[in-house]
Amino acid sequence: MDAFSDALLDLCAPHLGWAIEQFDVFCSVLPEGAVRIDAGTGVARVGDLELRADLLGTYAEDATFQWAWAKRVALSHDGTVNHATYGLQGTLA
C-alpha cells in the first residue's frame, strides 16, 4: 500500500526541498526538550517555548489518515477546525 496518493505527491514534489529547509530552520530555533501538546488549549510546549498548535488531521490505529475538515468533531482548541485547513480541501486526494 502506498503511503500517499499520486495527486498528493504531484502537489508536494515541487515544494519538498523548500519544506525540508524550512523544517530544518524551524527545528534549529527550538529549544531542547520534550514536545508537549495540549489539544484542549491549542498550545504546544517545547522546553519553555509555547506555540499555537492546531491539528491538520489524525492517524487511526490502522494507519489511515483523516483530514481535520472531514471530521464531524471539531479539532481546534477554539471549537472550530483551523480555517487554513479548508484551503487544502479539494486540492488533495
> How many domains does one find in the chain?
1
Q: What is the pTM of this model?
A: 0.46
28-37 tens-digit pLDDT: 888 888 888 8
Q: What are the residues whose beta carbons fall under 8 Å from the beta carbon of 14, sequence distance 6 or more?
A: none
**How far is residue 59's CA from residue 47's CA, in Å, rounded to a whole number?**
25
In a domain, 1, yes or no: no
- What range defines the domain where residue 63 resides? 6-92
16-69 tens-digit pLDDT: 999 999 989 988 888 888 888 887 787 888 888 888 887 777 777 788 887 776
In a domain, 69, yes or no: yes
Phi, psi of 61 (to 5 degrees): -60, -25
In a domain, 47, yes or no: yes
Q: What are the residues whose beta carbons fall under 8 Å from the beta carbon of 91, sequence distance 6 or more?
A: 11
